Structures are given as C-alpha cells and as structure tokens.
Homo-oligomer: A and B are copies of this chain.
Amino acid sequence: MEDNRQQDTKTPKVHSWKEVHREKWLGLSQINWEDNKGRHRVWEAVTRTTKQTGVVDAVDIIAIVRKDGEEDRIVIISQFRPPTEKVCLEIPSGLVDAGETAEQAALRELKEETGYRGTVVGVSPDTCYEPGLTSATCAVVQVLIDGNLEENIHPVPEMEDGECIATRLVPLSQLLVTLNRLMREEGMTVDAKVWTLACGLNFAQSFPPRP
C-alpha cells in the first residue's frame, strides 16, 4: 500500500458544539474546531435529536436470501422518501432503539420492513455517512436468510403506520443492471450506498475490464 500522508503539525480537534436550531427530529449545530495548523474554525452539521451515546444511530442491512439451487439474492426495498420526492431503492435500514444492539435492531427492522427472518453473519465497525454533513453513524449488518424455510417463502412485513415499503429479491450478479433498469423505466432513485455495493459486486474482477 502506498502512503502519501502529509505531515500535520497538529492533530485536529473539536472544542465545542452549539445547537443553533432544533425541530422534533433534526437539529442544526455549529461546531467549533481547530484544524491541523491550529486555526480555529466553524463547521455546520445536522444531528438527529434521537441520538444516543455509545451506540450507532442506525443500521443498514445487507440481507441475502439463500435457497437451494438458486443464486444468492439481495433484499432491496423501495419507498417514497419525501426529501427526495421520489421512490428510492435502498437496503433495509432503521434507527436503533434505546437498549438495542445493532444486531437486534437489524433483525427487528428486517422483519418489520420485509417480513424476513434471518441470522446475523457480520457487523461492520461503526461507519459514518456523509461525514461532512452529519454526525450520524450506522453499522452495516450482514444477514443471511434461509430461503428454504416456510416463514421466508411468504414473508409478512409488520410496517409501522405511514410506512409503505416494497421488497424485491435481486440476484447479486444482477444488482447493477436491475438498479439501472428501475431508475430508467420507473423513475426511481437509488441510495448511493446501494450503488457502490453494486459497483463492488460488478467490478470485483477488474475495473473496467482490462483489454
């Protein structure tokens, strides 16, 4: 691995947060911080008012249905998202409730949103999303679903009031072409995390193919 790190004179650090506005779910803050040259600066960020300390805010769930004789299929959901004014293609996700672990939240949200029951096979370290915009953190939880079980052949979602989520199973090798088709034909948009996942699946061999 090549390493081209610059020499920093100081370690950047945050001195204080000041909330300048708060609504029910979201708040805006000004962060007073010190950069690598020791200069004091201000950064704006959005926070979730539901934020707890010590656990991630949310889980994102890479859930795979494995069934005898079939290719592994990933669970993709779509729902109308007011901030985008479009139906968005995403992986199942949700906020972690008080007292829950990331694993528990992932299995609960997967069941609620899609009806599937699975087993956690991997949990990422705490990741961030849009670290220039928000303090929000999430864990990416990998869940394996036994597609041979009756409960997973006809899964029954348990959506909350106001939720309207559609579920699709997409063979891993078809994820990128399927996302493209749905965006083109049905005017949907896609979460960037799902897009990069599809890119990874697609160019695991080489990017783009060597001539």
Contacts and interface: CB of A to CB of B under 8 A. Distances in A.
Interface string A42-80: 011110100000000000101010100000110000101
Contacts of A132: 81, 83
A175 B146 CA distance: 28
Interface string A99-143: 000000000000000000000011011111111111111101010
A179 to B, nearest CB: 8
Given A1-B170, A122-B208, A133 B199 contact: no
B35 A162 contact: yes
Sorting the interface of chain A by its residue count into under 10, 10 to 19, 20 to 34 or 35 or more gives 35 or more
Given A20-B21, A44-B25, A142-B207, A36 B200 contact: no
B28 A28 contact: yes
Contacts of A122: 208
A182 B171 CA distance: 32
B5 A26 contact: no
Nearest to A48: B133
Contacts of A21: 20-21, 23, 28
Interface of A: 1-6, 8, 12-14, 20-21, 23-28, 30-31, 33, 35-36, 39, 41, 43-46, 48, 60, 62, 64, 66, 72-73, 78, 80-86, 88, 90, 121-122, 124-138, 140, 142, 144, 155, 162, 164-172, 174, 178, 180, 183-184, 189-208, 210
10 contacts: A1-B169, A26-B133, A41-B162, A46-B134, A128-B189, A129-B193, A142-B208, A172-B207, A201-B204, A202-B204
